[in-house]
Chains A and B, each alone.
Chain A
Amino acid sequence: MSDSPKITPADLDYLAMNEVIFILPGFSLGRITLILGDFGPFVPSIATKAPLWFALYLKERKLCQIQVPSWLTCEWLETKRNEERSDPDGPLHPIHLHYMEISSILLNHASDDIPQAEEIRTLIKDIWDMRMSKLRRSISIMIKEQHVHAQVKNISYMELFCIRPHLCNSLFLIDHIQKAS
C-alpha cells in the first residue's frame, strides 16, 4: 500500500497558478509571450487576461487590481451551496476544478480586492464540507454494495486528493481477495 500520496496540496496550488483571470493593470506594457500563450497589451484600468501567478506578482508590487472571477462571488457561491444542500444524495454539481486552491490563494493574497471576503470564506468551507460528505457517502455505498464501476463528475482536484488513497487502496484489497479465491 502506498505510503503517502505523491501529489501534495502545495502542488495543486502550483497547478492552479496557471488559471487565467482578469486584472486591472496600473501600468502599460505591450504583448508578452508566456508558455500559456500571449497576454496583453496591458493598458491602465482596462481589464486584461493574465495567469494567476503573474497577477499575484503584479499584486505584490501594487501594480494591478485583481478582478474576482465570476464564480467567486457571494451570490454565485450561495446558489452553489443551496444546490448542494438541496439534494444531499445526488451527484456533485459543476464547480471550478481548482475552486479550493484559487479561493484560498486570492483570499490570502488579494483580500482587499474581494468584496465580502469573510462571507466567501465561510461559503467555500460550507461547500467543501457538503461535497466531501457526499463523496464519502457515495464511496461507502459503492464499496459496500460492491459496484464494479462508478461515474463521478465534477470532482475537484483537492477533493480527489483527499479521497484517493482510501478509495484506491480499498479497491486494491478487495481485488486482491477476489483474485486469490
Chain B
Amino acid sequence: MNSLSQLNNTSLSQSASFRDSTYVSHYSEAFNFYDIDDILASELRIPCSFNVTAYRLGYLHTNSKTEHIETGTNLELPLWLAKSLAGRKNIVKVSVPIRYTKEIRQELEADANSSDLNKLGPYYYESGIKLLSFDTPDVDAIAEVLIKTFCSRSRYIMDRSHNIYDRDQLQITNRLDESEKKLFMCGRQSVEKFQQWETQKCKKLSSSGFVRMKRKRQFDDI
C-alpha cells in the first residue's frame, strides 16, 4: 500500500512537470495514467470470441441465461479488458471493430477531409493507436490509414484555427476527433494571443476574475 501511494506520488509529480514543459505532448506512455482522454479512449468496444470456457461469467453476456460463457461465444469487450485477456493466456480472440474495418478505411483513404471523425468515434486516433498493440493482421493497414488520414486533415485544421475570427467554432470542431480538437485549440490560442498583441490589448492591465469574484463574496458576507 505504501509503495503504491509512493508510486502515485511520483507519477503525479511527473505529470505536473510535464504540464509545465511547453512543447512536450502527452503522447508518451509513462504519463497516461491520469489522462481522462486516455481512459475514455480505452473504452472502445472490441468484438472478441472466447477460446476457452469462462466459468461463472455468464452475466457479462446479456443475451444468454447460462451461468458460464461457452467456448466460441462472441462478445464485445472494452479495449482495456480485451487487451489483457488476449495478451496473456490467449483467452479471447480479437477481431477488428467496425470503425476500423476495410470499408471505413477505404472511405477515409478516398477523402479524409469529408468524413466525420467525431461520429466514427470521438477518440478515433487514440483508440486506433491502442488497437495497434493487438495481434491482428490488419494492424499495419490501420496504422497507415491513421497517419494518412491525419496528414491530409492537418491542413484543414491549421487553416481553420488560423483564420477563424470570433466565429462559431462548433461548426468546425464537431467534425473533429478529440486529438484534432486539441490541436485546433492549440493553434487557436496562439493566434488569439497574436491578435491581442496586434490590437495592443495584452498591454492593458486588468484585474483578474478571481479578485473581482472575491470582492463580491466579501460584500455578500457583510
Interface residues of A (CB under 8 A from B): 1-10, 13, 104, 108, 132, 136, 139-140, 143-144, 146, 158, 161-162, 164-166, 168-170, 172-178, 180-181
Contact = CB atoms under 8 A, between A and B. Distances in A.
Interface stretch (B60-68, B151-159, B209-217): B151-159
B183 A176 contact: no
A173 B146 CA distance: 10
A177 B197 contact: no
A170 B190 contact: no
Contacts of A161: 190, 193-194
Contacts of B196: 9
A6 B34 CA distance: 23
Contacts of B27: 172-173, 175-176
B119 interface: no
B118 to A, nearest CB: 16
Contact of B183 (A108, A146, A169): A169
B22 interface: yes
B202 interface: yes
28 contacts: A1-B182, A2-B24, A2-B25, A2-B186, A4-B190, A5-B189, A5-B193, A6-B22, A8-B193, A9-B196, A132-B162, A136-B158, A136-B159, A143-B154, A161-B190, A161-B193, A162-B190, A162-B191, A165-B186, A165-B189, A168-B25, A169-B183, A172-B25, A172-B27, A173-B150, A177-B143, A177-B147, A180-B133
A10 B197 contact: yes
Contacts of B187: 165-166
- Size category of the B interface is 35 or more
B26 interface: yes
B139 interface: yes
B189 A4 contact: yes
Contacts, number: 123
B23 A164 contact: yes
B206 interface: no
A5 B154 contact: no
Contacts of A4: 186, 189-190, 193
Contacts of A158: 194
A164 B22 CA distance: 11
A176 B147 contact: no
> Which interface residue of B143, B189, B197 has the most chain A CB atoms within 10 A?
B197
Contacts of A7: 22
A175 B190 CA distance: 22
B141 to A, nearest CB: 10
Contacts of A180: 129-130, 132-133, 143
Contacts of A175: 27
Given A2-B21, A5-B22, 11 more contacts: A1-B25, A1-B26, A132-B162, A166-B161, A169-B186, A174-B147, A175-B27, A176-B27, A177-B125, A177-B132, A177-B150
Interface in B111-165: 125, 128-130, 132-133, 139-140, 142-143, 146-147, 150-152, 154-155, 157-159, 161-162
B12 to A, nearest CB: 17
A139 B154 CA distance: 9
B202 A140 contact: no
Contact of B22 (A2, A10, A178): A2
B203 interface: yes
